[in-house]
Structure 1
Amino acid sequence: MTFLNALWIVPILGILIFIHELGHFVMARRAGVRVEEFGFGLPPRIWGVKRGDTIYSINLLPVGGFVRVLGEDGKSNAHDSMQSKTAGQRARFLAAGSAMNLIAAVVLIAVLIGVQGRSSDNVYVVNVNPGSPAADAGWQSGDRFLQINGATITSSDEVSRLTTRNAGRATTVTLDRAGEVITTTITPRENPPAGQGRTGITLSSAPNATIHVNTVPSDSLAAQAGFHAGDIIQSVDGQPVPDYLAYALALRNRAGGDAQIQVQRDGAPVTLTAAIPTDLPVDREPLGADLTQQLHFERVSPINIPLETVRTFGSTMRQMGTGLMSLVR
């Protein structure tokens, strides 16, 4: 199944590239540039029809598409060639592909929000550096962010943004710790040590979801604890599990001891006891079971879809920017 899932990259890339080339096609027409061919897929051509000066073709390799315009090779200076157009027109032609991809992304986000609703993330403290502001404030691994200075937290991006905004100032942070609401005061550092951030924590987020047990390998810790395929994980030592990360962090924080895990099995609650080793794996499910997530979505009223679309798109772009900056530092 993993290989078959990976094959989805082919049609996805094909659609993205075709949308990109469609942007070039539209802008070329608006600039009065002759489009000699607008093709779906890559040559060799298997079908084509000419309308006006343009050949519309379907090609053998179903990966994207292409636009061939007069003068793009610098060999024509005709009035309807690319070379005859102003620098601004040529620049708009070149930028149109990327602009079309951005527009398509915004439209797709709006459609998804309108059809399935809005998801939200829970943001957790994963590690706390000794001597950091977070350590001084009493933060612990597994704490979930609720609010920062009264603003509700629904993404790790919001935590980073608000702690940066309040650098050097006392900040009220409300956390959920094993079901108990805790109010703390922290002063984010203006000049933090390299690799620690303003509060001195590693944080992570996970979408609200119901966690289902898909399969249980016979030689896994999950099998020893009595997990069955079809179980729904509900709590660890009485602490609710609203997402996968809450489950994983709860087990990690009990390394070397036992954990009481409540699951729902055939509609009835069942309590399992799992012995948690001290060397839990960090790259897979702690007890070795195969889990799946059923994401939770909140309906969005039509009037709020544009605002939610802008918010989601902006958050995605900020996360991409943060990721790119981390690669060059």
Structure 2
Amino acid sequence: MIVFLVIVFLVLLIIVHELGHFLAAKLFKVRVEEFGIGFPPRLWIKKAGETVYSFNALPLGGFVKLFGENISDDEKISEEEKQSSFQHQPSWKRAVVMFAGTGMNFIAGWLIISSIFMLGIPPGLAISQVVTDSPAESAGFKVNDFILAVSANGASVLEPKTPDEFVNFVKEFRGQELLIAVNRAGQTVELKAVPRIDAAENEGALGIAVVQKGIEKLYPPAAIYEGLKTAASISYLIAAALGQMLVGAFSGQPVLENLVGPIGIFGIAVNAGQIGIIYLLQLVALISLNLMVINLIPLVPFDGGKLLFIIIEKIKGSALSLRTEQTATAIGIALIIPLFIVVIVRDIIKFF
């Protein structure tokens, strides 16, 4: 069930992005020749009106094919066709169509985060770190385990709500075996560990760090406002991190370790879903905002690259030639595809 939900959410994010381009094009009466999920070869097609809707074999994204998007400089079309040709629209309309996909990703992230604020998340303690060679590591504790209850001597039982409650309980029973129940990916696991009497400084008796997780339930107006602030803040942090990564790449720093491809994202999403649907929604919102930022990279075939073409055209007063755009696109693809392949191979090695 979780795997199915993850697939549905990821496909919906693709549809949302492409729907932004589609609706903006329709708004300006630009003919949409095809709305595709995935990339060919085609698995299913249906034509409705002037648009072909397709579901394709390669689940690596989606596309909206616009009439006149790649029209050559010397190609002749009628005045009537120019009315529905993307390339013959004013630059501001083309910019809106190109930006609409990323805009929809932001709106999707914003609405998902707002819904999480409306639902709220009950407070709980999550393990954020497990110290090497500690009682916790020996017992089998893992990062992202949620502590449900801890007991000593079979009698004293605590369902900790705050880190201090848990830490004080562990200190009280140092040197004695504790039975600790945790939620791990939706399953309850019971672990036994003996807190150290004399632990190293900053390691704690068990050798774990715990953080309190939870979100206060808000009324819709407050949730929508907080969702907007949070989505904007996350988007800024993603953009800043991406900028630092690109600077690091040009300065010779290793960056591949921090990249995750479609397979890795799928695996992480499944794990989040096993913890709880709210945590899956959090991840889906984060992925949507990531898609927005990545698609604004000023490099073709990203939307940001196409926006850059429009800006250059506006500055120089004339459109770039089709050959120039095709050359820039080929360079962009030549840079992206090898990186994409490397990331996918690393995902396969890591997750399988």
More strand as a share of residues: 1
- TM-score, normalization: structure 1? 0.48
Query: Higher relative contact order by CA 8 Å / sep ≥ 6: 1 or 2?
Result: 2
